[in-house]
Amino acid sequence: MTTPPVKPHYSSPEEAARIYLLPNLFTAGNMLCGFLAIKNCIEARFTTLTAEGRAEHYIMAVWFILFACVCDLFDGRVARATKRESLFGAEFDSIADTVSFGVAPALMACFLVIKPEATDNVQLVTWLLAFIYLLCAGVRLARFNVLTNPLVPGNEKRAAGGDFVGLPSPAAAGMIASLVLVLSKIIQEAKGQNPFEEAQAWSWSLLPLMLIISFLMVSNVRFPSFKKLDWTARARTRGFILIIIIGAVVFRYPQYSFPAIFLGYISFSIFRHIFLLKKSEMDPAPDDDDEPVSKV
C-alpha cells in the first residue's frame, strides 16, 4: 500500500516564511543572550582583569545562557498560544539555539579549563571535546527540525507524544552553565589562595560532563517536553505550594538550585525512559494478525 501524499500546511512559500513579531522577538532575545554570553567569556579571557573581575564575567555569561533558556521556553509557547507558528520561526529558533546553547557553553568550558600554562595536548583535547559538544548540539537541533516538520508524515503522532527525542539543547547548556555557578561559589568561599585558580582547579569536571551530555543529546532517550503546560493548566493545592517553595529556594540559593533542577530533569528522564522500555518489554505490541486492516 502506497503512502498517501502529504497535505501541505502552507498555501505558499511566503506563508511558510512569514515573520510573526512576538514569538520571534523571544527568539531574537535568545540569540542576543547567547551573543552576550560569548562576549563575556571573551572579555574574561583576553582582557586585563583581577581574578574577581574574570569570575564576574563568567558568572554574567552563565546568567545570559540561563536567560536564553527562558526566552527559548516562551517563544514556542507564545507562537502556539497566538497561532503564529511558521517554518521560519522553527528555523530561526534553531539558529539562535546553536549560538546560545552550542557555541556559548562550549567556549565557556574551553576558556575555564585551558590555563595559560596548559600544554598543547591539553588544549587539543579540550577544544576537541568542546567541538564534539557543539557538533552534537547541531545534530540534535537538525534532527528536531526534521521530526517536527509538518510536511513529514507521522510527525503529528510524534508531537502528540509530548516527548523530546534526545536531551534538549537548552537543558544541556543549562546543566553546563549551572555547574559554573557552583564553581563561582567555590570562588567566593575559597581561602588561602587565588580564588579564581581554586575554581579552575575544579573546571576539568566540565569535560566529562560535556561528553555525557553530548551523548544524551543525540541519543534516543525520551525527555518530557512539558508542552501541555500552558497558562490554562491547572494545579492541585499541594503542587502549587511545592512550586512556590521551589521558586523561593531557587531565589535564595541559585548556585545550587539550578544545577539540582537540570540534574533532576536529566536523571528523572533517564529513569523514566528505562521504566518505559521495561514496560514495553512486559507488554509487547499485538501481532500483525490481531491488528485491524486499514482501508485503502
Question: Three-state SS for 171?
Answer: helix
- Note down the domain range covering 106: 18-233
Inside any domain, residue 285: no
Q: Grid coordinates representing 288?
A: 500483525
Q: What is the mean pLDDT of residues 225-254?
A: 68
The pLDDT of residue 289 is 47
pLDDT band at 112 (very low <50, low <70, confident <90, very high): confident
The pLDDT of residue 64 is 95
The pLDDT of residue 12 is 62
Inside any domain, residue 135: yes
Q: What's the number of domains the chain is made of?
A: 1
Q: Among 60-74, 86-100, 113-127, 236-250, which stretch is predicted with the lowest mean pLDDT?
A: 236-250
Under a CB-based contact definition with an 8 Å cutoff, are residues 108 and 118 in contact? no
Q: Choose the most confident range, by mean pLDDT, from 15-29, 236-250, 279-293.
A: 15-29
Q: Grid coordinates representing 155?
A: 510527525
Closest Cα to residue 104, out of 75, 65, 73, 71? Answer: 65
Inside any domain, residue 103: yes
- The CATH number given to whatever domain includes residue 165 is 1.20.120.1760
Inside any domain, residue 118: yes
Closest Cα to residue 178, out of 265, 94, 243? Answer: 265
Inside any domain, residue 5: no
Q: What is the mean pLDDT of residues 264-272?
A: 91
Q: Grid coordinates representing 293?
A: 486492516
Q: For residues 194 and 110, what is the distance between their CA atoms, to the nearest angstrom?
A: 20
Q: What is the mean pLDDT of residues 230-255?
A: 69
Inside any domain, residue 62: yes
Inside any domain, residue 115: yes
Inside any domain, residue 271: no
Element (H, E) at 1: none
Closest Cα to residue 255, out of 204, 165, 197, 179? Answer: 179
Q: How far is CA 59 from the centre of its chain?
A: 18
Q: For residues 123 and 49, what is the distance between their CA atoms, to the nearest angstrom?
A: 22
Distance, first Cα to last Cα, the chain = 8
